[in-house]
Structure formats: structure tokens, C-alpha cells
Amino acid sequence: MDLRDQWNRLLPHAQPLGDDLLARYAEQQRHYHDQRHLAEMLDTIDELADLADDPDTVRLAAWFHDAIYDPQGDPGENEEVSAQLAELELSAYGVPAEQVEEIGRLIRLTAKHDCEPGDANGAVLCDADLRILSLPADRYDEYAVGIREEYAHVADRDFARGRMNFLQGLAGTPLYATSRGREKWEQAARENLQREVGTLTPRAARPFSGLIPMIYLGAALGVIVAASVLLGRGLGAASRWPATPEEVTGFPVWAPIAGTAVAAGLACAWFRRGRPRLVTIPAILFAVLGLVAIGVCWWSWPAAKPGAAMSERWPYLMLGSVALVLAGALLAVARRLRLAPPYAVAPPRALGLGVSVVCASLLAWIVVSAGEPFVQARLEAANTISTTTTEKPGVLPVQLNGELAWSREVPATGAIAGTVGGVAELRPDGVVMSDATTGQIRWRYSRADVDEAASNGSRGLLVSSDGRTLAAHLPYAGGRAPSGIELPTYAVLDAESGQVLTEVHTEGTALAVDANQLLVAEGRYVVAHGVSNPTHWRTRLQCNVTQGELLADQAVVVDACGGSGAVIRGLDLTDGKQRWEVDLGIRFDLSAELEPTTWVGDLVAVPDTREVSGLVWTGAAGGTLHQWSVDVGEGRILWTSPVAGTPRPRLGPSSCDAQLAATHASLVLVTCRSSSEPGEPQTYDVSAVSPADGTPQWHHLLPVPPKLQQPEYPRDGFGLLPDGRVVTLMPQADGTCSPVMVGTTGIVPRPIVAGPTAASVADTKKVTCDKPAVTVAGGRPVFSDGTRLFALS
């Protein structure tokens, strides 16, 4: 049955209208939307007639759906004017108004072919209009050529782009609305579409261009998983530190599981269903949620407060929020590239899936790994309170006449140390530098996440030999840092200005510092961290490293094994390679009963020489202390000397840590003799020898009352003046607390006398000897009794 007969069967009384429609479908600008297309549509409607509610209404809609066709019209314009023509003409020929209205709706539906579920008439008409997609390849190719001829006014490149967008839009949704169409024609139609997409894709891009959207998709999925991990870390952390156990909920396992499930769902939507909104909507949702979360984090970002440190919660939440925005952007780019002609050729599904999984895994690892340094940097910046100064420290002549120069109350300090910038106080949360002349605070450095720095005693502060560089040990609050975060455990500061030179994280113990390196012992390893230069090296030795000292061109270290030997080594400061070694085990009968950290004592460099001197206990005579000196230029021992009185290392409640200090002309040793009876005074050896050959210069026995008999007292409670005398704080018979000078003239108390101000008179009565600590800054002795800091003129 030809088209005219089919029309006459539908509307026998409207033959002129049929003739007009046939003439329209024969217009010259039509190369596909012609009478052949109409005939194929009507044949398809006959095949699907049993699925329509009103097949004749659908047939009439097919006759009019392309009645007006202008290839240069705007999208949807042809369908709209064709529907208006149908409504006008059919009403004039007496077609019922309800049927006319339905025909107009159906024609407008062919603009986008978006049938609603349950629309039987619309499904049949849309499937008939798209039946051409599933016809044999030769007919499909004729259709594609006809479409190109209808759009001859469009440049090839623009046509390819527009055609590709149209085809990709079709491929991104189910093509057929009826169950019969999906079952019989869907697969053939997709094969035809894929083939045409291949012809439109630039040849140079065909082999791998289809993988580009897969790469962006994989990156987006990986960032989604990473965002879930970062958000989980943030939600599982306490809001501040230190925190109670109840405030730390732990890492929520559900967060990465949920992120992985969302990523898997998006992958399925991309590879199986291919609906655009299943990717576009999550992209918008991620971007919006991420931006809102960034605003919340920014608004809630806590300020640094002493004793209430910001934890890793807010940096992790901020980073996770940024990752959500990035995931949304990557999803949007992937979707856009999938629709672009150069990248529209889909690779084999297995290859595309493999590329996406690899990219997702890589991006997830990169984002999570990059998150830890980001969080670490934010915590360091947020929890650090640092001030600096450009004012020079005060300098006044020192008379050492016992006059109280200044005094002020301070919080409990862990240690004090003299520098060129003044006297450094190690406090629970950091370091405070006071002017040695006036006692005024010059600068401070503290961390809100540190609260146990003072517990390290004198070992918590290291000062370079020139007094210009200071290293402070700042353990993390509660003894642990967040998982994966390496907060600094040592801060290296310029002693004069307070400038932070570097911050170092290490599980080891700092041995020495100068303006170039921080020398750290980590078990059997010696590590040099660059301060003012990028030098960094790590050297493994035979035994645990116990002592170290920095010289101009080398590091001198001692590594010792329990009872089996101790070796002094000179290491090159540029690369850590050994220059020389001296085995102390050949010279001394080393004790096998004590730990190396106990029987290997202090190591000091003699100023302006190439000599390093140290201490070692041997097992002879129940324990004998020896001094030794090494020439670091030649790598040989210059001399060794036993110390009279057989003082012992820390062994028992009344033992002590010996202190060895050096001036240009003297090596001064402070240590205790054998254990005393509980409650009885203990005898301390305070002596000096020549650095050149160990010749004794002077030696005094100092009785120490029981209240001062602490293992740390020789190290913390004695200071070495530039002239070689030793000063300490000692209770007197009259109940007062007085400085005591020990030197060539013997043991001489220096009672504190009032200074020129009335405040000093009252201050002299407040000085106690409960927890004495002594240092020398600018030649001036500075004392602390745990609650007050004061200096003598």
C-alpha cells in the first residue's frame, strides 16, 4: 500500500490535505526527512500497533511530525510549527478536538524523544521515528549521508561536533521506549551509532582518545575515596589537644566504605547505564557540599591558645572538603569530554575499566598521602606562637660582688641555659629568652600542642658552642602525635633574635647543634639535619650512639655497646663518612654491668682547639671515672686520667650525673663520690685540669645537703664562669640560700646583697635552694630555684 492509499484510509474525506503533506515531504531540501522516512515510520507503527492506545492517532502524528522541516531552524522549532499545522488543518477537517490535542502533543514529543513511563502512544511514535538507527548498515549509512546533505550549510568541523553531541546524547540513554523495540532493535542501533561516531572522530585521536574521559573518571572516583578517608580522619579526631579518651572516637570505618560504595555506583552508572544525570547530578552535589563544608571549616577554624592546641580534625575536614569540590570538577570534565567528538570513541569496556581503576587507585593514594604533609603544616602553623626581636641584648660589666641585679617570678621551668641572646628558659610549652642584664623577656617560642617540654631537664636545651644557636626539645602533648603526622620534636632557634631556623621531627635524641646542623642520635644511627643549609645525612654505626659534639668540619660521636666496647669516631659534616676512630675499650676495662648511656659520660669540645674531652666509667675498683682527651685532627688520644675519689655513675638513689665543662684554659668536672648514708650530706668532687695534658689545676670537696642530692644536680645546679670558676646555689647555716664560688681560691660563699632598688631588698629574702639551676649568660651567673629567676651583678 502506497502512502496515498494509507492516507486515504486514515482520512478519506481529506485527500487535498494528504496531497499537501506528500508535496511537503518531497521538498528539495529534504535528503532524509522525506517520503521514504515517512513510509518507514508508518511500517514501524504497524509493527507496534498492538502496543499503542490509539494507533491511528499515532499514524496521523507521524504524517505531520516533519511536515515543516527547515534544517536551519532552532532546536524544537520544526516540531512546534509542525504541531501547530496539524492542529489547524485537522481541526478544519473535523477531527475531534481531543484527538487533535493528542496529535499535537505527540509531534512535540519527537523534538527530544523523552517519553514518560506509561505513555503508550508516545513510546510507539518515538520508536518509529528512531527505527532508522537499527536498520541494516547500508540503510543507516544512507541516512547519515542524507543528514549531512541537509546540513550542507554547516562547516564540516561544526557539523561533526554537533552530530557527535547528538549521537552521544542518544547513546547516553535507552534508545527505544517500548519493550519490543529495546529487545529487537537496541543492540543493532548502538552498533550503528558507535560506527558513525568512529567516522566522525579525528583519526589521529582514535586509538587512545577514548581513554581520556576514562582517566578523568578514574581520577574523580579516586578523589571521592580519598575524600571519604580524609573526612573520616577528621571526624575521628578530637576537636582539640590535649583531649580526654572520651573525646577521641577513633577512625570511623564506615567513611571509606561509604566513599568506595559511591565510587563503585558512579562507575556502574558510567559503564552500564550511561545516563548523563547519574554523573552530572553527583558532580554538582559534590561541588556544592564541598564548598559548604569549606565555609564551615573556615568559620570554625580555631585560633592557637596555650594549653588548647588545634588537633588534626579541622585540617583533615578542610582537605576532605576541598577533595569533594575537586571530585565534582573531575566528574564534570569527564562527562564533558565523553560528549566531545575527539574523545567520543569508547574503548573496550575492560580496557576502560582497567584504566579507571588504576587512575582511581593512584589518585586516592596521592591525595591521602599529600594530606598528611598538609595537615602537618597547618598544625605547625596554627599551634605555634612565636615572637622575634631586633633589639640587641644588654651588655654590662660583671663585678661578681653578690649584688642582686634583677629578680622575677616565673612559671616552673625545666632548664635554663646561657646564650648570646640572654638566658633561655625551657617551659612546659616552649622557650622564653630573657635579657641577662635586665631580666626582661626578649622573645618567646611556644607550641600549643606541647605541654611536657620542661620534664626533660637540662637535656631539653642544647646551645651551640658560640652561644648563637639554640635547640629545644618539644615532645608532643600526651606523648604521641596524630597518626601519620610528623610534628616537630625539636625547634632550632636563633638565640639572639628568636627566629625559627628549622623544626625537626625525630624519635631520637639531639646531641649537638650549631648554625648549620642539628646532630641527632637514633639508636645506632647518627643523623645530621640541615639548619641554615640543606645538608642531610644518616650514618649507621656499630653500637648505640650516646654522645656527640659538632666542630667546624666534623662531628665527633661515641657509640657504645653494653660492656663490649666504646668507640670515638670523627665523621665528615658534609656526608657523614668516617674520618677516624679511637677504641676506648683498648685503653679501659669497661663495665659490663651498666648501660652505655650510664657509663659513657659527657663529651665537650675545648674552645678554639682541635681537642674533644669526655668521661668514661670502668669496672676497676668498684667503678672508677676516667677523663680522656682526643686530638680530632689526627684522630688519637692525647691523654687519659683517673679521677680521684672513685666517683660512681648513676647507681642507686644517692648517685649522680657528672658534668664536664670546658673553658679555654680548664676542663672542669663536677661529680659525686660514693653513696652516702640516707639523710647525711654527700661529698661532691669539683675539680679542674689542663686541657692540654690533664694536669690537675685545683680540686675541692663540696658537702652537699640531702635536699640537693638529686642525680641531675651536678648537671643542672652548677655553672662555669668564663674565668674557670664554678658557681652553684647552696643553703647556708643561717637558713639563707647563697651562691657559692668554687675555684683556685677554694669554696667561697657569696651572700646575696640588695641591689639599688627597694624591690631587690624584698627579693633577696624570697630566694630558696629547693630546685637550684644555674647558667652563665654574658658572663653573669643566672639562677633559678623553680619559682624565681634572678641574676647577680
Per-residue pLDDT tens for 54-73? 999 999 999 999 999 988 88
Considering only residues 682 and 540, tell me which one the structure prediction assigns the higher pLDDT.
Answer: 540
Q: Measured at the alpha carbon of residue 300, what is the angle toward residues 299 and 305, in degrees to the nearest 5?
A: 125
- Alpha-carbon distance of 527 to 605, in angstroms, equals 19
Q: What is the pLDDT of residue 68?
A: 92
More confidently predicted of 407 and 540:
540
Q: What was the pLDDT predicted at 518?
A: 94
Distance, first Cα to last Cα, the chain: 124
Where helices occur in 11-155 by DSSP H, the ranges are: 15-24, 35-47, 55-64, 77-92, 97-109, 120-129, 137-150
Q: Is the model's pLDDT at 793 over the cut of 80? A: no
pLDDT (tens digit, 9 = 90+) per residue, 603-654?
999 988 889 999 887 766 556 788 999 999 888 999 988 887 655 555 555 5
Q: Which residue has the cell 567516522?
A: 199
Q: Pull the grid cell for residue 142.
A: 544512507
Confidence of residue 760 (pLDDT cuts 50, 70, 90): low
Share the mean pLDDT of the chain.
84
Question: Which of the residue ranges 203-212, 489-498, 761-770, 782-791 has the most confident prediction, judged by mean pLDDT?
Answer: 489-498
User: Coil, helix or strand for 727?
Assistant: strand
Query: Is it the case that residue 451 has pLDDT exceeding 90?
Result: no
Triad 676, 681, 683: Cα angle to 5°: 70
Q: Higher pLDDT residue, 42 or 485?
A: 42
Greater confidence (440 vs 760) lies with 440
| Sequence letter at residue 95 | V
Q: Minimum mean pLDDT among 75-89, 250-264, 700-714: which range? A: 700-714
Residue 767: how many CB atoms within 10 A of its CB?
A: 20
Q: Which of 701, 743, 692, 745 is nearest to 722 (CA)?
A: 743
Q: How confident is the model at residue 548, as a pLDDT?
A: 92
Using one digit for the tens of pLDDT, what is the confidence trace for 703-753? 888 888 777 888 888 888 888 889 988 887 777 788 888 988 888 888 877
Burial environment of residue 575 by CB neighbours within 10 A (0 to 12, 13 to 18, 19 or more): exposed
Residue 188, Cβ density class (10 Å: 0-12 exposed, 13-18 middle, ≥19 buried): middle
- Residue 481: pLDDT band (50, 70, 90) is low
d(CA 259, CA 59): 50
**At residue 362, does pLDDT exceed 50?**
yes
- In three-state secondary structure terms, 178 is coil
- At 16-39, the pLDDT tens digits run 988 898 899 899 888 989 999 999
User: What pLDDT does 268 receive?
Assistant: 84
pLDDT > 70? residue 591: no
Average pLDDT over residues 342-368: 82
pLDDT-derived band at 204 (thresholds 50, 70, 90) equals very low
Cα torsion 522, 525, 528, 529: sign: negative
- Residue 239 CA to residue 252 CA, distance in Å, equals 15
* 324, containing H or E segment: helix 313-339
Residues whose CB falls within 8 Å of the CB of residue 708, separated by 6 or more in sequence, listed in order: 717, 730, 731, 769, 772
Alpha helices in 682-734 (DSSP H): 713-716
Please check whether residue 469 is in contact with residue 493, taking contact to mean a CB–CB distance below 8 angstroms: yes
**Residue 737 pLDDT:** 80
Gap between the Cα atoms of 147 and 154, Å rounded: 11
pLDDT above 60 for 671:
yes
**CA gap 160, 148 in Å, rounded:** 9
Rounded Cα distance, 470 and 605, in Å: 17
Q: Which of 482, 503, 226 is nearest to 369 (CA)?
A: 226
Residue type, 62: A
Task: Provide the pLDDT for residue 240.
Answer: 72
Which has more pLDDT, 360 or 681? 360
Between helices 55-64 and 120-129, what is the axis angle to 10°? 40
Lay out the sheet containing 441-447: strands in order across: 384-386, 441-447, 430-434, 422-427, 415-419
Q: What is the dihedral of CA 759, 765, 769, 774, to 10 degrees?
A: 30
At 762, the pLDDT band (50, 70, 90 cuts) reads: low
Task: With H, G, I as helix, E, B as strand and everything else as coil, classify residue 568.
Answer: strand
> What is the H or E stretch that residue 377 is in?
helix 349-383
